[in-house]
Structure 1
């Protein structure tokens, strides 16, 4: 009875601690890129049940490892909350389950439960910017490989970034139809195939290592097939195949290849069965001391919840001027304010924002400005790297990303981050920076570190993200575009300082 009460108490404490993180996790799972996460938990439970006969006869709690895992839970949870990184909160969620397993089953049980726990870790969706940047790089490789395949079979083709020009049709290999959104589920599938079909560790590693190259190669083949269809059948058929049926077909092809690879690798291994430690029924094992440590785990999780609540109650929200009266005339520029839809505002999560287009009275050049301000930042409502937003639609591809040092001669007195995005016929130059609690930062990771530090020391997490954009003219150099933006920023930043507390 005591063991049941201890287990129920830790489950209740776990739910209370992570209750406000569940909606964010569910939203991520509902995203097409992470929908595979829905099957991870039942899959991990099935694997654990399948390996139950490998548990040792006597289950001795592992105290050092268990409490070490609990300390890691507190670290990742509090840092994740303070730095507004929900991925770290999700990691702490997984570690808390590991800690309970160590207290109930012990370290020796990891021979049976290690693999299910590894699979369970896939319930954590990768941070969006990591997924976006990874798939961006992979799709460039895939596009280049597809062009080489088409050139090999004598199909005239030209590639510019992630755009494949076949003459009669142009293929924009963007995230949504790149086929590379299947990378993470393919990795998970490769791990499972190695476990189910292969017996040697080196065989399982080969199958795992083949997952990403397989996703790239099959996607390149898909694009090459589109080129062949466009040239020999019709452009309409090729376009329909590219945007509708090909993604699933290529995923099934990837699965088929990995299955064949796994089976072929078995030809080079022995047929000896996997030895497993036999054990009698789990319910007849001794569990010395596990009840008290599971209870301590429940109290520890409750303590983390209360400590985080104390930090939130001490949070300081400084007074500031609203963007409602932000000037529309800045130097040589006259602005027109714009407003976001409710859907975009919900995604932005800002407490106050300003966006508008400023036009130079003399040259007619337009500069787009976006300033989003947060009274306090937390996971799902924090200033973040705008790269993922800029690459999220419109067919833009990232050509360069670099820091620019202060340029007082042109009017910009601080460092900014420069992004050059391109698509056929257009180039966009964007400068951005994080302006938070008296600092101007261009590195997202450094910004998160200061966010966590100031949350503890100053009890403040307020701040803003500023983004300035300019469409470059035909033949205009990037350096000239930067000079145009620098001149605007010189006057704009002086006014902006009044609206963002230091």
Structure 2
């Protein structure tokens, strides 16, 4: 992953003009990529990404160290063409992100821009070897909302299963219901904050740095990288198990303190120590059997000298001029503001839908509301007069999905202990004809339910989350809007009923609710 430091002579005159043009290019980039920078700063406030501000600093350190292995020699313009091509790609991606107002794309483009500047400065023949510090910048990026929620929910499930496994090994009576560990006198919820993501991301970054600095075979580096995620998940499960043991042996009074004590740096430091131990074990497979400190390239001499090499006057002029011009253009051009969205609030949604009458209008738990982050939502139970079977109508609407959006029931249902027995797409009747939605049969023990759900992107309904995001992107380009919604209908399959009975109930309410939903979920 990195070449060992060598005694390459990199002494050359300091090019102050080159550093000046590099500073100009960087200043222009800071203005042009500002939406991406803002999104990173906003993400770094969250505990899961609090390590983010350190990533650029560490990447810069890795870069300056590795520059010692790059010889100082003239570079022709033809060798810089790949860098110019990458610069064009980075700028186009950033422009696309600015136009559709998805700042994550602008943040991704920044990393490509850094790589492009190195290839322009050092040429492809020498600059392409500098990819490790550039790639490390990926660890400062937040996961896209849907991916984050999916990974978090999956890790909650894994942590719950492993935590219960460890508790049973220690003869602690326990029952697992979704992500709730039932200890009898106390129910320990493996919430989103307990998923382990706040340990996983910094540990993955550390393992990458460790692999870069490690002087050994490629397969050693691969083992160190691959081991980071399992170690993080394992230690998080151990933390959950310890909390369960404390409740079982010492009561509820001690669980809060031990849980907080085992959060954060305790888990991180333990995982780091385990990585060092793994590296020490790997050294036994080497014939020379070096000490661990000798197997790590920790040389820091000549960092300032390497920094001065970044200024290549002729190479930096063009990127500097381009970035300053783009910075000026985005400063002068007016910001695109979408037109106000006219819609009916869910609070005005009819209490009666044809023959159906509302039985309850409830609110979600505050913790679930924080995860959902919907701008408007409703959770209502409707019953038909001739039946005591109910149908739950849930709808969540987001004014700006670029800052968080719909969560697929495929992800959140298992967190509640429900197993998806079957999932397929069907055509169902709406007020204006047939449309495609998802049909899921879920079960928990002997309980069974039938679920319909779909995504509504400004009047266009789809069962596919990927097509939903494609529609959203087109809408951003066309109108600048990024609003959308998720709609879900749920009904139980009672004793003596068939799936067809429950399906008829869902379709009956769907026909009655489709018209009012169109008023609450605005189209184009």
The question of 1:246 aligning with 2:262 is answered yes
Query: 1:286 and 1:485, CA in 2 relative to 1: closer, same or farther beyond 3 A?
Result: closer
Query: What is the rounded CA distance, in whole Å, between the counterparts of 1:54 and 1:86 in structure 2?
Result: 35
Q: Find the counterpart in structure 2 of residue 202 from structure 1.
A: 219
CA distance in 1, matches of 2:172, 2:259: 20
Q: Partner residue of 1:58?
A: 73
Cα separation, 2, equivalents of 1:215 and 1:79: 36
Instruction: Return the match for 1:118 from 135, 145, 155.
Output: 135
Residue 177 of structure 2 is aligned with which of 149, 153, 160? 160
CA deviation after TM superposition for structure 1 residue 31, in Å = 0.6
Give CA-to-partner distance per residue, 1:19-58, whole Å, 9 cap, x none: 2343332221111111111211222222223334223212
The equivalent position to 1:415 in structure 2, one of 412, 427, 436, is 436
Equivalent residues of 2:36, 2:105 under 8 A apart:
no
Inter-partner Cα distance in structure 1 for 2:312 and 2:305:
13
Give the equivalent residue in structure 2 for 1:355. Answer: 378
Q: Which residue of 1 aligns with 2:11?
A: none
Q: Note the C-alpha offset of 1:299.
A: 5.5
Say whether 1:234 aligns with 2:250.
yes
State the Cα RMSD in Å: 4.4
Q: CA deviation at 1:14?
A: 1.6
Rate the CA distance shift 1:427–1:30 in 2: closer, same or farther, 3 A: farther
Give CA-to-partner distance per residue, 1:193-245, whole Å, 9 cap, x none: 223344332211111111112122223333443444444x3232663366322
Q: Map residues 334-373 of structure 1 onto 2, 5 A cutoff.
A: 334=357, 348=373, 353=376, 355=378, 357=380, 359-360=382-383, 362=385, 363=388, 365=390, 367-372=392-397
1:11-30 equivalences under 5 Å are 11-30=26-45
Q: Retained in 2: the 8 A contact 1:84–1:448?
A: no
Q: Which residue of 1 aligns with 2:277?
A: 260
* Alignment correspondent of 1:501: 523
Q: Distance in 2 between matches of 1:327 and 1:488?
A: 13
CA gap 1:273/1:440 in 2 versus in 1, 3 angstroms: closer
Q: Which residue of 2 aligns with 1:333?
A: 356
Q: Report the alpha carbon displacement of residue 391 of structure 1 after superposing the two structures with TM.
A: 7.7
Query: Separation in 1 of the partners of 2:51 and 2:496?
Result: 45
Alpha-carbon separation, structure 1, partners of 2:369 and 2:430: 37
Aligned partner of residue 428 in structure 2, secondary structure: coil
Task: State the match for 2:402 in structure 1.
Answer: 379
How do 1:417-456 residues align onto structure 2 when only pairs under 5 Å count?
A: 417=438, 431-456=452-477
Partners of 1:345 and 1:234 lie apart in 2 by: 32
The reply on whether 1:466 has 2:486 as its aligned counterpart is yes
- The 5 A counterparts of 1:128-207 are 128-207=145-224
1:373–1:337 CA distance, 2 compared to 1 (3 A): farther
With 94-103 and 221-230 compared, the bigger mean Cα shift is at: 221-230
* SS of 1:263 mapped into structure 2: helix
Distance 1:161 1:344 in 2: 19
Using the alignment, how far apart are the partners of 1:286 and 1:373 within structure 2? 46
How far is 1:258 from its partner?
0.9
- 1:294 aligns with 319
Change (3 A) 1:349 1:174: closer
Describe the shift of the 1:72–1:44 C-alpha distance in structure 2 as closer, same or farther (beyond 3 A): same
TM normalised by structure 1 equals: 0.79
How many Å separate the matches in 2 of 1:40 and 1:462? 30
Q: Which runs of 5+ in 1 are unaligned?
A: none
- 1:371-397 deviations in Å (ceiling 9; x for gaps): 5264xx5732x64335599589xx735
Distance 2:140 2:198 in 1: 16
Report how many residues are paired: 488
Q: 1:162 to 1:483 in 2, by over 3 A?
A: farther
